[in-house]
């Protein structure tokens, strides 16, 4: 991925060979060594917030302004969500700086989110002086033990000399295998200390860590044999396809095998939403066809997905009739929730081409027609009214539908958590991979605004639209300050139903409409935005909607568009909690 | 009793790991996250220098233990994990018993009990004597029960250590590991005892 700065090849004479293969060391502070490591790892952007225990790194950063773009966020949670957005849109490792104590603990939600959604991050936290550890020093917190369950790896550095190796391991671990967040805690003395550093060596191997499983061809062959005798095969794909950068390999597999394919929300976009074999979204609020037909397929091929409970519903009623092929890089996912008939352990970038070669070119016209029939039912019962309503009030679905018409599926859609998220994921048109950025596993409200900022830094050439509800935006609204100061161009599409809508929906359906604390008041968002010098507009009627969306997209800078939508809409279809996917309800 | 509680039994988890600060916590929370009690935990060196060995005992179903073993093995600094029911391992626990010396001196019965249970005197003082036995849980427990009436002052039992009966397989790989990539030294905090000499803010 990056060149290994090995010493030059040894010259012929043995005497000079000794002299030149001895790498030239240079004296740096730990803080400077930290920044040199970031540059060597091809980092261009860091999201962070300074504080006492990380001042030496910020002091060194003063001299690196040309090489490293530092984005000053308004809260460390905003910083880490921005880094997640950056990582998800760019495919690179997101980097965060935070100070000790509260700075570090503010990263906790983002770390948990990044771990469950396999997002590669390297978080660097300052820590009190090594000799003060355990003394309850000012802004001391045991961030290593706090973050152990929510990091792929974490490590504390108490001496400057350890910094390059720790960071090299951090980047290697964060991006290899199943990616995830890594936290490196550097004590202040280690940042200040001077030491002699050899040229930076990226890490390419750790003896106890096997990120790239050796693919066993016999399992690939078994999988192909199962697929070749299938009558009604169904592919379920997840984010593993994106993380493995295997979109092409996946498309070739689908197109040759002719198997209909459905996606988890983190997998969205790996195959364009308009592709004829893309049969839609899985899960609790997914499409009718793929949910119902999961329980009718004869071979289920899961690719880079983990059978989350929001995808499977009740496990004892999930795909019991099917033989399951599970392709995953992480062995703990095999048999974790759904027993695999044939496990194919490996990176799908490697396993998919092997499988494609062995499967027969087929098409399943009758079986695919079943999906189309279910689609027709879903359109009649749900989609028509959601996207083209005849009532007075606006629906979330029609906003996304109008947005699709303007973006033509070219934008990156970043969503928060709740009803608007399900609507956006269900209806957004996505032509490209890495175009749907959302908090899937953790369901972190407040994710979208900062993640959209980071997504724009990770893909500056693309339009980034953050779709957010009136609950979520109030959780991290301070990041409007980051937009103001950096001038980053993010389109904020606020869908305001004046409720914490998803909880309200559950209270309506399952708790006798006892609306307990879901009625949330909002500030005047357009005024708030203007306080941050961000242009904005509010619409509440159909005739204005498209011009307002157009104004938002065509505005040269960031823009906040608040759309007042109908208050008590429910998201359907829905697999109620405790039900099987076959029991999905259309109303 | 549910079916699940019937299927639960003792399993011995053996993990080969790097010797790293913080790894104990990383492994322990895999159990506590699932509200599984660790019955016994021992960390020790292995036959290969620089490679550490955890022996963990839990009472669980095979399915749960298999998943836990995979989760442990997934950790970056863990090399290999095995899990075995008791019949697949040779295992021992050590116990220490502190008994008043006069009781032993005066009562021939107590001396006989100790002898019958294979106890060995570790320390003999005027006021007390410390005995040691090694064996399975029932054996060390039995001596505890019989000594209770005779003024037992203190009792402690060690974690279980276990050797897998059929474990040739990994031994060679371990040796090979260490030969091709020697272990690093454990990195610890060298500054804790030099507070006065360091600049503070």
Interface contact flag, B77 A131, Cβ < 8 Å: no
CA distance A211 to A118: 13
A445 assigned to active site: no
Interface contact flag, A207 B177, Cβ < 8 Å: yes
CA distance A30 to A53: 13
Residue B166: its pLDDT value, please?
Answer: 82
Which CATH fold would you assign to the domain A392-565?
Answer: Rossmann fold (3.40.50)
Task: Enter the CATH code of domain A217-370.
Answer: 3.40.50.1220
Out of B17, B33, B187, name the one closest to residue A149 (CB): B33
pLDDT tens digits, A82-95: 999 999 999 999 99
3 state DSSP class of A165? helix
Q: Do domains A14-197 and A217-370 have the same CATH topology?
A: yes
Q: What is the mean pLDDT of chain A?
A: 95
Out of B77, B180, B195, name the one closest to residue A131 (CB): B195
Q: Which residue of B has its CA nearest to A148?
A: B26
> Does the pLDDT of residue A11 top 70, yes or no?
no
List the end-to-end C-alpha distance of chain B, in Å, as a whole number.
61
| Residue ranges covered by each domain of chain A | 14-197, 217-370, 392-565
Nearest CA-CA distance, residue B60 and chain A, Å: 16
> What is the mean pLDDT of the segment spanning B123-151?
93
Residue in B54, B188, B191 to test binding to A, most A beta-carbons within 10 Å: B191
> Does the pLDDT of residue A10 top 60, yes or no?
no
Out of B70, B192, B199, name the one closest to residue A331 (CB): B70
Tokens, residue A50 = 């300074």
> Does the pLDDT of residue A2 top 70, yes or no?
no
Helix (H) or strand (E) holding A290: helix A288-294
Q: Which residue of A has its CA nearest to B52?
A: A208
Residue A21: its pLDDT value, please?
Answer: 59
Residue % of chain A over a pLDDT of 90: 96
Residue B173: its pLDDT value, please?
Answer: 76
Q: How many Cβ pairs closer than 8 A exist between chain A and B?
A: 70
Q: Which chain A residues contact residue B180 at CB under 8 A?
A: 207
Catalytic residue among A281, A305, A396, A502: A502
Per-residue confidence at B2, pLDDT binned at 50, 70, 90? Answer: low
List CB contacts of A413: < 8 A, sequence separation 6 or more: A424, A428, A430, A435, A436, A437, A465, A467
A348 to A115, A178, A181, A265, A269: CA distances (angstroms): 20, 11, 21, 18, 16
Q: Which chain A residues contact residue B32 at CB under 8 A?
A: none
Interface contact flag, A134 B198, Cβ < 8 Å: no
Residue A66: its pLDDT value, please?
Answer: 94
Contact A102, A108 (CB under 8 A): no
CA distance A156 to A64: 24
Residue A410: its pLDDT value, please?
Answer: 98
Residue B185: its pLDDT value, please?
Answer: 77
Q: What is the dihedral of CA B19, B22, B24, B28, to 10 degrees?
A: -150
Q: Which chain A residues contact residue B22 at CB under 8 A?
A: 144-145, 148, 154-156
Residue % of chain B over a pLDDT of 70: 93
Q: Of the given ranges (A179-193, B74-88, B186-200), which has the lowest mean pLDDT?
A: B186-200
pLDDT tens digits, A311-329: 999 999 999 999 999 999 9
Going along chain B from its start, the domains and CATH numbers come out as: 3-88+167-180 (3.30.70.260), 90-157 (3.30.70.1150)
Catalytic residue among A188, A251, A349, A456: A188
CA distance A103 to A128: 12
List CB contacts of A112: < 8 A, sequence separation 6 or more: A150, A442
Tokens, residue B59 = 């009472």
Residue A14: its pLDDT value, please?
Answer: 45
Interface contact flag, B79 A206, Cβ < 8 Å: no
Residue A268: its pLDDT value, please?
Answer: 98
> Does the pLDDT of residue B175 top 90, yes or no?
no
Helix (H) or strand (E) holding A419: helix A419-427
Q: What is the mean pLDDT of chain B?
A: 89
Q: Which chain B residues contact residue A148 at CB under 8 A?
A: 22, 25-26, 29
Residue B201: its pLDDT value, please?
Answer: 42
A388 assigned to active site: no
Interface contact flag, A331 B74, Cβ < 8 Å: yes
Residue in A118, A131, A133, A191 to test binding to B, most B beta-carbons within 10 Å: A131
Interface contact flag, B190 A130, Cβ < 8 Å: yes
> What is the mean pLDDT of the segment spanning A346-357?
98
Contact A89, A462 (CB under 8 A): yes
> What is the mean pLDDT of the segment spanning B19-34?
95
Interface contact flag, A148 B192, Cβ < 8 Å: no
Cis peptide before A573 (omega within 30 of 0): yes
Interface residues of chain A, partner chain B, Cβ below 8 Å: 52, 129-134, 144-145, 148-149, 152-156, 158-159, 162, 173, 187-189, 206-209, 330-332, 335-336
> What is the mean pLDDT of the segment spanning B169-177?
75
List CB contacts of A461: < 8 A, sequence separation 6 or more: none
Residue B195: its pLDDT value, please?
Answer: 67
Q: Which residue of B has its CA nearest to A150?
A: B26
pTM of the model: 0.94
A138 assigned to active site: yes
3 state DSSP class of A332? helix
Per-residue confidence at B5, pLDDT binned at 50, 70, 90? Answer: low
Exposed / middle / buried, residue B196 (Cβ in 10 Å: 0-12, 13-18, 19+): exposed
Task: Enter the CATH code of domain A14-197.
Answer: 3.40.50.970
The complex scores an ipTM of: 0.90
Nearest CA-CA distance, residue B191 and chain A, Å: 5
Interface residues of chain B, partner chain A, Cβ below 8 Å: 17-18, 21-22, 25-26, 29, 33, 67, 70-71, 73-74, 76-79, 177, 180-181, 187, 189-192, 194-195, 198-201
Residue B191: its pLDDT value, please?
Answer: 85
Radius of gyration, CA atoms only, chain A: 25
List CB contacts of A65: < 8 A, sequence separation 6 or more: none
Interface contact flag, B189 A158, Cβ < 8 Å: yes
Q: Which chain B residues contact residue A153 at CB under 8 A?
A: 76-77
> What is the mean pLDDT of the segment spanning A471-497?
98
Q: Which residue of A has its CA nearest to B80?
A: A208
CA distance A480 to A289: 40
Residue % of chain A over a pLDDT of 70: 96
Q: Which residue of B has its CA nearest to A330?
A: B74
Interface contact flag, B189 A133, Cβ < 8 Å: yes
A55 to A36, A61, A106: CA distances (angstroms): 17, 10, 18
> Does the pLDDT of residue A465 top 50, yes or no?
yes
Write out B26-84 in H/E/C secondary structure.
HHHHHHHCCCCCCCEEEEEECCCCCEEEEEEEEEECHHHHHHHHHHHHHCCCEEEEEEE
pLDDT tens digits, A403-459: 999 999 999 999 999 999 999 999 999 999 999 999 999 999 999 999 999 999 999
């Amino acid at each position: 991925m990056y060149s290994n700065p090995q010493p030059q090849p040894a010259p012929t004479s043995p005497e000079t060979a000794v002299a030149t293969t001895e790498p030239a060391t240079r004296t740096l502070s730990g803080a400077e060594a930290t920044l040199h490591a970031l540059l060597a790892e091809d980092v261009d952007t860091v999201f962070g917030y300074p504080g006492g225990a990380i001042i030496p790194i910020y002091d060194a950063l003063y001299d690196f302004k040309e090489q490293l773009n530092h984005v000053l966020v308004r809260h460390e949670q905003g910083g880490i969500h921005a880094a997640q957005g950056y990582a998800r849109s760019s495919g690179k490792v997101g980097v965060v700086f935070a100070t000790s104590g509260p700075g570090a603990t503010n990263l906790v939600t983002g770390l948990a989110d990044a771990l469950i959604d396999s997002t590669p991050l390297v978080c660097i936290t300052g820590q009190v002086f090594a000799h003060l550890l355990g003394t309850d020093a000012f802004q001391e917190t045991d961030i290593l033990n706090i973050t152990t369950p929510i990091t792929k790896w974490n490590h504390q550095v108490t001496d400057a000399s350890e910094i390059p190796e720790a960071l090299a391991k951090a980047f290697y671990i964060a991006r290899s295998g199943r990616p995830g967040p890594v936290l490196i805690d550097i004590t202040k003395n280690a940042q200040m200390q001077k030491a002699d550093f050899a040229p930076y060596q990226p890490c390419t191997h750790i003896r106890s860590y096997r990120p790239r499983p050796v693919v066993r061809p016999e399992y690939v062959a078994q999988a192909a044999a199962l697929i070749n005798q299938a009558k009604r095969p169904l592919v379920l794909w997840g984010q593993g396809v994106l993380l493995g950068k295997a979109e092409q390999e996946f498309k070739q597999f689908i197109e040759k095998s002719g198997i209909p394919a459905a996606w988890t929300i983190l997998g969205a976009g790996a195959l364009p939403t308009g592709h004829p074999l893309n049969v839609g979204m899985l899960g609790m609020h997914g499409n009718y066809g793929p949910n119902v037909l999961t329980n009718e397929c004869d071979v289920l091929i899961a690719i880079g997905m983990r059978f989350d409970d929001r995808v499977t519903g009740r496990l004892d009623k999930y795909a019991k009739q099917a033989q399951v092929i599970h392709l995953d890089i992480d062995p703990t996912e095999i048999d974790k929730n759904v027993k695999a008939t044939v496990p194919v352990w490996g990176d799908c970038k490697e396993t998919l081409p092997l499988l494609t070669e062995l499967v027969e070119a087929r098409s399943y016209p009758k079986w695919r027609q079943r999906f189309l029939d279910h689609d027709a039912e879903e359109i009649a019962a749900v989609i028509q009214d959601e996207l083209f309503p005849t009532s007075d009030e606006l629906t979330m679905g029609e906003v996304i539908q109008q947005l699709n018409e303007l973006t033509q599926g070219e934008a990156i859609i970043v969503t928060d958590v709740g009803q608007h998220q399900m609507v956006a994921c269900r209806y957004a048109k996505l032509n490209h991979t890495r175009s749907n950025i959302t908090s899937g596993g953790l369901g972190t409200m407040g994710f979208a605004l900062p993640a959209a900022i980071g997504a724009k830094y990770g893909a500056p050439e693309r339009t980034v639209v953050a779709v957010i509800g009136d609950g979520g935006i109030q959780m991290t609204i301070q990041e409007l300050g980051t937009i103001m100061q950096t001038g980053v161009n993010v389109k904020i599409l606020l869908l305001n139903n004046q409720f914490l809508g998803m909880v309200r929906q559950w209270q309506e359906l399952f708790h006798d409409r006892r609306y307990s604390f879901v009625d949330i008041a909002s500030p005047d968002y357009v005024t708030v935005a203007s306080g941050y010098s961000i242009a904005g507009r509010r619409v509440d009627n159909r005739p204005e909607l498209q011009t307002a969306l157009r104004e938002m997209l065509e505005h040269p800078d960031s823009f906040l568009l608040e759309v007042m939508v109908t208050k008590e809409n429910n998201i359907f279809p829905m697999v109620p909690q405790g039900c099987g996917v076959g029991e999905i309800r259309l109303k | 009793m549910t079916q699940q509680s019937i299927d639960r039994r003792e399993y011995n988890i053996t993990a080969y790991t790097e010797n790293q600060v913080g790894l104990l916590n990383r492994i322990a929370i895999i159990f506590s996250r699932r509200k599984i009690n660790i019955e016994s935990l021992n960390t020790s060196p292995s036959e290969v220098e620089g490679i550490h060995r955890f022996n963990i005992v839990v009472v669980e179903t095979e399915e749960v233990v298999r998943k836990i073993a995979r989760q442990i093995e997934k950790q970056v600094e863990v090399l290999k994990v095995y899990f075995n029911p008791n019949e697949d391992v040779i295992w021992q626990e050590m116990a220490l018993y502190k008994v008043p010396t006069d009781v032993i001196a005066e009562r021939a019965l107590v001396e006989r009990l100790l002898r019958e249970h294979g106890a060995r005197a570790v320390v003999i003082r005027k006021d007390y004597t410390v005995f040691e036995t090694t064996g399975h849980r029932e054996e060390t427990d039995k001596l505890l029960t019989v000594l209770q009436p005779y003024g037992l002052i203190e009792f402690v039992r060690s974690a279980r250590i276990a050797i897998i009966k059929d474990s040739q397989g990994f031994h060679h790989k371990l040796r090979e590991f260490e030969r091709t990539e020697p272990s690093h030294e454990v990195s610890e905090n060298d500054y804790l005892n030099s507070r006065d000499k360091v600049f503070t803010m």
